[in-house]
Amino acid sequence: MNALAEALAARTLLGDPATLAAALVAVVFFGLSKGGLGGGFALIGVAVLAMVLPPVQAAALLLPVLLMMDAVGLWTWRGWYDRAVLSAMLPAALLGIGIGALTAAVTPEAAVRLIVGLVALGFVARVLLRRVARPGRKAGWFWGAVAGFTSFVAHAGGPPFQVYALPLKLDPKVLTGTSVIFFAVVNTVKVAPYAALGFFDARTLLTAGVLLPVAVVAVLAGAAVVKRMRAEVFYPFMYATVALVGLRLVWDGAKGLIGG
């Protein structure tokens, strides 16, 4: 056991029991989110990981793990997707990623988080007031670009995607499968600019490899829950996770701007 601990400390970012425990908990919550249980679980994972790793290091660690989760999600939700949503949002998301890569050095992450959080809370408020109409294709282009940009700059692409997709009232399985495909493409495209910006190193990649088995199990567990959820349970749950994510993003963004 001591030899294993020493090896982890020397070759990975998991140098002490607290960091190891936090990373495992974070990956479990991210996996449940990737399985279809919504951004609220990913938000918990972010909060836990932020307790033990700097934001840039956490972002670099998460991307390889998220790619494995995407691969498992693509297999788990194969055949469940909405072609119209993907054709509207994905090309615009690629444009948003490009803008994010070009402006990452001058874009304040805290401001992006604050704005995305306010958008998410405003969306939920409109839902509660029953003022959300079915969005059109142009809205898909807009929110796709926003999701790509905010995913690259602040790992906050979930709320913009949901602002467009949730009012469509898709079957929960179709919505989840569509989300999996969308973010699998987005995360894959982010690899090259992340590498160019120097976010990856050997210790980070080896740490991600250690965490991958946990990621796979967590995604499958989340998918198993969603596949048993009725729409009348799934949608209120999803709106609640959007509200939770919005509150956290507003808090993080405001704190970052004030502190900065």
Q: Is the dihedral of CA 72, 76, 82, 83 positive or negative?
A: positive
Start-to-end CA distance of the chain, whole Å, equals 42
Running along the chain, 260 residues long, what does each successive block of 10 average in pLDDT? 60 77 87 80 73 73 87 93 96 94 81 85 86 87 93 81 92 93 93 82 85 92 90 88 85 83
Using alpha carbons, select from 14, 256, 4, 20 the residue that is nearest to residue 154: 256
pLDDT at 10: 64
pLDDT at 238: 87
pLDDT at 1: 52
pLDDT at 56: 67
pLDDT at 73: 92
**What's the structural domain count of the chain?**
1
pTM, two decimals, is: 0.85
pLDDT at 76: 93
Which residues does 100 contact at the CB level (< 8 Å), separation at least 6? 107, 148, 149, 150, 151, 152, 153, 193
pLDDT at 74: 94
pLDDT at 253: 85
pLDDT at 57: 73
Using alpha carbons, select from 241, 255, 237, 207 the residue that is nearest to residue 60: 207
Q: Give dist(CA 169, CA 25) in Å, integer.
A: 32
115, burial (CB in 10 Å: exposed 0-12, middle 13-18, buried 19+): middle
Phi-psi region of 96 (alpha: psi -120 to 50; beta: other; left: phi over 0): alpha
Q: Do you know the residue count of the chain?
A: 260
Contact 69, 123 (CB under 8 A): no
Q: Give dist(CA 240, CA 9) in Å, integer.
A: 39
Q: Give dist(CA 23, CA 175) in Å, integer.
A: 28
Structural domain of residue 255, as residue ranges?
Answer: 2-259
At residue 253, the 3 state secondary structure works out as: helix
Residue 224, both tokens: 């198993």
